[in-house]
Structure 1
Amino acid sequence: MALALPAVAGLALSGCAGAGGGGGGGGGGSKSINVLMVGNPQMVDIQKLTKDSFTKDTGITVNYTVLPENELRDKVTQDVATGAGQYDVATVGAYEVPIWAGNDWLHEVDSYADGDSSYDKADLLKPMVQSLSGEDGKLYGLPFYGESSFLMYRKDVLQKKGITMPERPTWQQVADIAAKVDGAEPGMKGICLRGLPGWGEMFAPLTTVVNTFGGTWFEKDWTPKVNAPEFKAATNFYVNLIKAHGEPGASQAGFTECLNALSQGKVAMWYDATSAAGSLEDPKVSKVAGKIGYVQAPVEKTKASGWLWTWAFVMPKTTKNADNASKFMLWATSKDYEKLVGDKLGWSRVPAGKRASTYEIPEYKKAAAAFGPQTLQAIEEANPEDPGVQPRPTVGVQFVDIPEFQDLGTKVSQDIAAAIAGRGTVDDALNKGQALAEDVAKKQTQ
């Protein structure tokens, strides 16, 4: 997959390109919008449902472009930062929205949400609203679904081995269990962990491990700590666990590959996004529906360690179809859309984690009985302002909320992926990362 583009990273830092410029935005006329999305299961679902619901009701045709996470990040950053205006709507996350809003690259969407009485903006979960707001307090993205992270495991496999999973395991307990269940079934590995390079791929789970092991990317005063003992201990633990009991080809395995591995019975455990549970519990796509247990993110030195994320729809200022784009965004993030997914595709597939009301729907509560309460608990326990054992210079559990982190995290992850693949060492990777982080710190403190 493509990784961060240096030229684009420079634009992202400058904050001056593409602010409200022109550009083609619509692509297919006033009743057509172009939407760029990450290729996660929830986005596949909306593609299936759009024509016979949204387009039928509004006459607005939606042209979707769906890309893997790393490729999406490059494409959308390049489009928005350069003011190309190719897309009217895009999915980005809690990392990008505040930065891009500060660069004046995005339409505020508060006025659209407030102007639609049926939308019920007050129903949106507070952590999601906060993560998608600018410094002016306005919303610049509407959450499609929200998530934290937790540990997913095969209840039946552990039971056969006589293993009881703690409700809040330590990482050492997870490693011990992974060793015991490795090979429990033919071709089954103990655990799947992301090894695919990318600040939002590998480093989403790995940074939560760093946090709970006592490490951090930067201290409060921007002192970089990438090669500090705690960061090294966490990364070595993660890499060694993958090497000993992780999935084959781990250096190319991201969210999608691990989802497939667990759903097809190829691994016994997986630490990743809470949003994966809906797919795992859908018997149409998962061989392990009904066999998965869910517990809170593993910890070491912190009480909780789950991340906080939302994939949200945003509207670049370059769009010429703001009205139609806003109609799509409101529909895609509405209560009505959740009901549509539940009725048409199954209630476990609802893009949850963004609305309080979702967790009161009887059909959803039944379908999500195995994972719904754990998901809500993980989201509520996530603390972007204080995710580790020391004060931080910015908000963010699994990322540092500055534009430079996109390039920094991705470059360090490339070297760690090489270590996973046996082409380098963690110590070398983090020593190189420390030098990169020192350059970032100088810019922050000048």
Structure 2
Amino acid sequence: MIRSPRRRLLAGITALVTTALTATACAGAGSFTDGGGDAVTIALVSNSQMKDAISLSGQFEQQNPGVKLKFVTLSENEARAKITASVSTGGGEFDVVMISNYETQMWAQNGWLVNLSPYMDRTPGYDADDFIPTLKDALSYRGGMYSAPFYGESSFLMYNKKMLAAAGVTMPDKPTWPQVAEAARKLDKPGVSGICLRGKPGWGEVLAPLDTVINAFGGRWYDENWNAQLTSPQVKAAVQFYVDTVRQVGEPGAASSGFQECGNLLSQGQTAMWYDATSAVSVLESPDTSTIAGDVGYAQAPSMAKGDNGWLYTWSLGIPSSSTKKDDAWKFINWMTDKKYIAHVADALGASHVPPGSRLSTYQLPAYTAVSQAYAEPTLSAMTAANQLKPSLQPVPYTGVQFLAIPEFQDLGTRVSQQISAAIAGQISVDDALKQSQTYAEAVGDTYKKER
């Protein structure tokens, strides 16, 4: 579990609170759907599945007369900042917040979230045991669930089957990173990159895939005594491999490419492969957004010294302890994370809109099974194999696969990601990027050593 004391968590959010205030001053508070002053106020990330929920929320209000909803939708970075600032200070602005497995356990330990398990237990048919076990564990603290998963994801390798067949390349179900790099070299040609890998700065951008590569190569951020390891041979080999691969056979402008950019490139036939989130299937398999729908292959996250390297992530819904409408807030969370909602989405919007990766029963839903034959099994396998308690080959004092579940990681990860992105851009060497990153990591590690 998280070992950080309350004062560490409070210190870790100071920069984020400043970011929230700056974002609000510069960009406003996002998009509002106003249900009135007595409404349950819900802060959501403005991703497509969340927008679907808002479009269907009339059903909730019909089923719960007297409960009005007010939605605040924000971009991912702004949502993290504003929600963190509000919940950590007990601001009471929101009754339901969209958070992830990065925040949930830390915030539960600090008393900032309501334990949802009593609500789940007394809600007929809710079936919390139907949640994918790794997600349920990631959102639990001392036996209680403090947020409920709306959708979940791991990571895997996606590829254009026609391009690989034309090049005579066969992708194993469980490839190694050298096999992927060799395939990328064969597939790379003018106008089509061999592979797309994120290079955009951000702890949730380039570091998300790169951290799984570091894990695969046997690397880690810290040893069990909080000694920084970012200049270790394993980390150096992983980062050099990643940077070399994306610079030699990756997408143009890789240093500014993130999830959306890579998704566009693969879906439009401008890259042959992409390693990223399993949730990308909603983009790749929709004929409305993809020219390769039905022609995408899927393989497990590539391995090296370590296998089972897919990450674990979920957008989930929690109730801040400061909410004065906890019972009505739960009614909404129940509606948005229940099996019935998933079936309703399939009926109302089509199975391709179903939020994936939260419940085991989703993978038995006939409508979803029909459209997900190519990717359902790889997605479920990746999610059930992900282990955020043991992310690395060697012992570590932290949890988390593609992030470190410590308050400082939002700032530390961002700083390190900037160094890596600069190396991808060719502005600095990998060695120089890691030397500076090591300095950042040592400063954080030293504070943990003092508490031992």
In the alignment, which of 426, 432, 437 is matched to residue 428 of structure 1? Answer: 432
1:282/1:349 contact within 8 Å kept? no
Structure 1 residues 390-411: Cα deviation after superposition (integer angstroms, max 9, x where no partner): 0111221112211112211111
What percentage of residue pairs aligned between the two structures are identical?
47
2:57 maps to amino acid: T
1:11/1:82 contact within 8 Å kept? no
1:170 maps to amino acid: T
Structure 2 residue aligned with 1:408: 412
Is residue 312 of structure 2 the alignment partner of residue 308 of structure 1? yes
Structure 2 residue aligned with 1:4: none
SS at structure 1 position matched to 2:315: strand
Aligned residues: 425
Is residue 107 of structure 2 the alignment partner of residue 100 of structure 1? yes
Structure 1 residues 314-352: Cα deviation after superposition (integer angstroms, max 9, x where no partner): 122222222222111111111111111111222133112
Inter-partner Cα distance in structure 1 for 2:348 and 2:13 = 43
1:359/1:372 contact within 8 Å kept? yes
Is residue 339 of structure 2 the alignment partner of residue 338 of structure 1? no
Residues 188, 33 of structure 1: CA spacing in aligned structure 2 closer, same or farther, 3 A cutoff? farther
In the alignment, which of 44, 51, 61 is matched to residue 55 of structure 1? Answer: 61
Is residue 210 of structure 2 the alignment partner of residue 210 of structure 1? no
* Alpha-carbon offset, residue 27 of structure 1: 7.7
Counterparts of 1:12-51 in structure 2, within 5 Å, are: 12=12, 29=36, 31-51=38-58
More divergent stretch after superposition (293-302 vs 242-251): 242-251
Residues 350, 87 of structure 1: CA spacing in aligned structure 2 closer, same or farther, 3 A cutoff? same
Structure 1 residue aligned with 2:266: 262
Structure 1 residues 40-69: Cα deviation after superposition (integer angstroms, max 9, x where no partner): 332232233223x22333244433333333
Is residue 321 of structure 2 the alignment partner of residue 317 of structure 1? yes
Structure 2 residue aligned with 1:131: 138
Is residue 117 of structure 2 the alignment partner of residue 110 of structure 1? yes
Structure 1 residue aligned with 2:127: 120
Inter-partner Cα distance in structure 1 for 2:390 and 2:145 = 23
Inter-partner Cα distance in structure 1 for 2:75 and 2:249 = 26
SS at structure 2 position matched to 1:286: coil
Structure 1 residues 258-285: Cα deviation after superposition (integer angstroms, max 9, x where no partner): 2222223222111111121133212222
Structure 1 residues 83-126: Cα deviation after superposition (integer angstroms, max 9, x where no partner): 33322222211111001111111111112211211211121121
Give 5+ residue unaligned stretches, structure 2: 1-7, 18-32
Inter-partner Cα distance in structure 2 for 1:249 and 1:10 = 37
1:315/1:325 contact within 8 Å kept? yes
* Alpha-carbon offset, residue 179 of structure 1: 1.8
SS at structure 2 position matched to 1:90: strand
More divergent stretch after superposition (64-73 vs 110-119): 64-73
In the alignment, which of 328, 344, 348 is matched to residue 352 of structure 2? Answer: 348
* Alpha-carbon offset, residue 245 of structure 1: 2.1
Inter-partner Cα distance in structure 2 for 1:343 and 1:67 = 27
1:106/1:314 contact within 8 Å kept? yes
Structure 1 residue aligned with 2:77: 70
* Alpha-carbon offset, residue 31 of structure 1: 4.9
Residues 266, 232 of structure 1: CA spacing in aligned structure 2 closer, same or farther, 3 A cutoff? same
In the alignment, which of 141, 151, 154 is matched to residue 157 of structure 2? Answer: 151
Is residue 146 of structure 2 the alignment partner of residue 140 of structure 1? yes
TM-score (norm 1): 0.90
* Alpha-carbon offset, residue 30 of structure 1: 6.0
Counterparts of 1:210-229 in structure 2, within 5 Å, are: 210-229=214-233
Residues 390, 162 of structure 1: CA spacing in aligned structure 2 closer, same or farther, 3 A cutoff? same
Structure 2 residue aligned with 1:3: none
Residues 170, 96 of structure 1: CA spacing in aligned structure 2 closer, same or farther, 3 A cutoff? same
SS at structure 1 position matched to 2:71: strand
Inter-partner Cα distance in structure 2 for 1:284 and 1:384 = 35
Structure 1 residue aligned with 2:27: none
Residues 252, 320 of structure 1: CA spacing in aligned structure 2 closer, same or farther, 3 A cutoff? farther
Structure 1 residue aligned with 2:23: none
Counterparts of 1:237-256 in structure 2, within 5 Å, are: 237-256=241-260
1:44 maps to amino acid: K
Structure 2 residue aligned with 1:5: none
1:411 maps to amino acid: R
1:161 maps to amino acid: A
Residues 9, 178 of structure 1: CA spacing in aligned structure 2 closer, same or farther, 3 A cutoff? farther
* Alpha-carbon offset, residue 71 of structure 1: 2.8
Inter-partner Cα distance in structure 2 for 1:345 and 1:83 = 37
TM-score (norm 2): 0.89
1:302 maps to amino acid: K
SS at structure 2 position matched to 1:413: helix
1:151/1:272 contact within 8 Å kept? yes
* Alpha-carbon offset, residue 308 of structure 1: 1.3
SS at structure 2 position matched to 1:338: helix
Give 5+ residue unaligned stretches, structure 1: 1-7, 18-25
2:132/2:384 contact within 8 Å kept? no
Is residue 381 of structure 2 the alignment partner of residue 374 of structure 1? no
